[in-house]
Amino acid sequence: MREVDFIVIGSGIAGLTFALKAASQGHVVVVTKRGRAESNTAGAQGGIACVSSEEDSFELHIRDTLTAGAGLCNEAVVRRVVTEAPGCIAELIQMGVEFDRYAKGNIGHDLGKEGGHSKRRVLHVQDFTGLAIERALLRRVSEHPNIELLENHMAVDFITMKSLSDEQSSTQADVCVGVYVLNERTGIVETLRSDVTFLATGGCGKAYLYTTNPDVATGDGVAMAWRAGAVISNMEFIQFHPTCLYHAEAKSFLISEAVRGEGAILIDARGERFMQKYHPLAELAPRDIVARAIDAEMKQWGSKCVYLDITHKSADFIKRRFPKVYETCLKYGFDLTQRPVPVVPAAHYQCGGVKTDLNGETTIAGLYAAGEVACTGLHGANRLASNSLLEAVVLANLCFKKIMNSRPSSGQKFALPKWQSSRAEEVSEMVIIYHNWDEIRRIMWDYVGIVRNGQRLQQANARLRALHAEIQGFYQKFKPSTDLLELRNLITVASLIVKSAIQRKESRGLHYTLDFPEKNDSNYLHDTDMRIDPP
Ligand code: SIN
């Protein structure tokens, strides 16, 4: 067993920001299941929202966030995140993130616009903002003597006081005292002990067949927190990004909303613009509305995609402002400067997650969460574009401050038990893992997508239940591997999405069901909270 001051799980913007702060106070171990830069952060194109111009105001950013959230945002959280933004951005700049400026030497930042924002307020580094932030943070982390970054290490389960005692069903709040971690190279599950565990594993896009997320986004943090007994909220609100490149080999490559922010329009297979039929903000309506409109158009015309057209802008502008999008589209045979490109929606962001307060405290003492894995109340039923990197960095900061003011201690000084396992068998054929993985993702895409109905949700629930039993059998039989642990997490998180969706018998934000197409404030103006039943 190793005892450390801080455990951080995940190496995206939330995890690295917290690690850098915590390292001023003690030794930090960052656990990350693949390479250090493999995170959703690194793929974020659009940018980070922050009030930065005279025409804008905190009140406008707050109002836009609340509007997108469709009645479920926690206004206190929204206010705090929006008003803390400039300070956090200043720190990122100080760490070396060079947000684009209007012109060389000009102090004003070039502000992008995205759906649901009433003003230009998205700071960006061309169209690879997340990567620029990830690189700057990793540079600092790599140089820091107090931070140890364990790549190819995957967190398996939290160790809590209740899991160590016989009184698991007691009503007293639980305390997290550490985590079991699989060292992928040795195959050994190691024990890490700490009074502070900071969860920043990102989202669960891989629960869906088509997603903008990288392979690491398998909902690990939510599944672990669920098994440990934490409250999980609002998992039905899965955001679908409206515009991913439609190409068999492009793996749902994201075409940033910022492209629409610069005037790109959506057209159907006949070349006709359609978004003005759905919302006064047309292409810049909140994301749920644009994704649903595309879905409706594709169904109406029986087409496999719609098209995004930015050819009204000069080729110079497009190449300079969107180099990554331009080059990737070109690689697949589409020249953005010459003709419209085919696009479809894909799963993009998990608005729910492990319930936390404004300081990142979960319902288990000693366990903190921030970033996409957490549900703070900022996003409500639908996230406003470019509020996610912002939330991650602000909450990592607030969480660190909270811990400094009330350093938690479990008083737990005895050694934690080793991970118990009688599992001796290696997974004999990977096909059993991949088959189940594929089945989950297809069920989610076909039955729990942009437009839902009660019957399909029930069908998904029944199928996932059968898969859950099978996967649990594998988990008990086989030696753990990253693939097997991911599959175990994926089935948990997929089931949570479906169960939450079944509970919400109304349409709100990202949850749209044909059975209840209207919002129902009298019954559903609240979060969908779920917690595992005690044994
Ligand atoms: C995008 O660039 O469109 C994605 C930004 C976000 O998801 O906030």
Residue 246, in any domain of the structure: yes
**CA dist list (Å): 317 to 107, 253, 314:** 20, 21, 5
CA distance 260 to 204: 25
Is residue 202 located within the same domain as residue 165? yes
Q: CATH number of the domain at 447, please.
A: 1.20.58.100
Q: CATH number of the domain at 309, please.
A: 3.90.700.10
Is residue 278 located within the same domain as residue 326? yes
Please give the pLDDT value at position 407: 72
Is residue 322 located within the same domain as residue 373? no
Could you list the residue range(s) of the whole structural domain that residue 25 is in?
A: 2-45+126-235+351-405
Is residue 137 located within the same domain as residue 207? yes
pLDDT tens readout for residues 14-53:
999 999 999 999 999 999 999 999 999 999 999 999 999 9
Residue 316, in any domain of the structure: yes
Is 269 in contact with 276 (CB distance < 8 Å)? Answer: no
Pocket test residue of 237, 254, 262, 390 for ligand 1, highest count of atoms within 8 A of CB: 254
Is residue 199 located within the same domain as residue 277? no
Please give the pLDDT value at position 107: 66
Residue 413, in any domain of the structure: no
Which is nearest to 123 in space by CA: 85, 79, 70?
85
Is residue 400 located within the same domain as residue 475? no
Residue 94, in any domain of the structure: no
pLDDT tens readout for residues 198-241:
999 999 999 999 999 999 999 999 999 999 999 999 999 999 99
Residue 318, in any domain of the structure: yes
Residues of the chain with pLDDT under 50: none
Residue 107, in any domain of the structure: no
Domains in the chain, number: 3
- Distance (angstroms) between ligand 1 centre and the Cα of 374 equals 18
Is residue 249 located within the same domain as residue 336? yes
Q: What residue type is assigned to position 312 of the chain?
A: H
Number of neighbours of residue 305 by Cβ within 10 angstroms: 20
Please give the pLDDT value at position 386: 97
Is residue 361 located within the same domain as residue 336? no
Name the closest-CA residue to atom 5, ligand 1: 46
Catalytic residue (choose from 36, 287, 321, 508): 287
Please give the pLDDT value at position 171: 64
Is 513 in contact with 243 (CB distance < 8 Å)? Answer: no
- Distance (angstroms) between ligand 1 centre and the Cα of 70 equals 19
- Bridge-based pairing of strands 197-199 and 238-245 is unpaired
Last residue of a domain, one of 308, 326, 348: 348
Phi, psi (5° rounding) for residue 160? Answer: -120, 165
Ligand 1 pocket residue status of 350, Cβ below 6 Å: no
Please give the pLDDT value at position 330: 98
- Distance (angstroms) between ligand 1 centre and the Cα of 328 equals 16
Catalytic status, residue 441: no
Ligand 1 pocket residue status of 388, Cβ below 6 Å: yes
Please give the pLDDT value at position 486: 97
Pocket test residue of 39, 40, 41, 45 for ligand 1, highest count of atoms within 8 A of CB: 45
Residue 309, in any domain of the structure: yes
Ligand 1 pocket residue status of 258, Cβ below 6 Å: yes
CA distance 96 to 111: 18
Is residue 216 located within the same domain as residue 248? no
- Distance (angstroms) between ligand 1 centre and the Cα of 128 equals 11
- Distance (angstroms) between ligand 1 centre and the Cα of 77 equals 21
Is residue 38 located within the same domain as residue 24? yes
**Total length of the chain:** 535
Return the sign of the alpha-carbon dihedral for residues 288, 290, 295, 300: positive
**CA dist list (Å): 260 to 241, 307, 367, 372:** 12, 12, 39, 24
Q: CATH number of the domain at 145, please.
A: 3.50.50.60
Is residue 211 located within the same domain as residue 337? no
Please give the pLDDT value at position 316: 97
Residue 164, in any domain of the structure: yes
Pocket test residue of 40, 41, 241 for ligand 1, highest count of atoms within 8 A of CB: 241
**DSSP-based three-state secondary structure for 8:** strand
Is residue 341 located within the same domain as residue 255? yes
- Rg, C-alpha atoms of the chain: 22
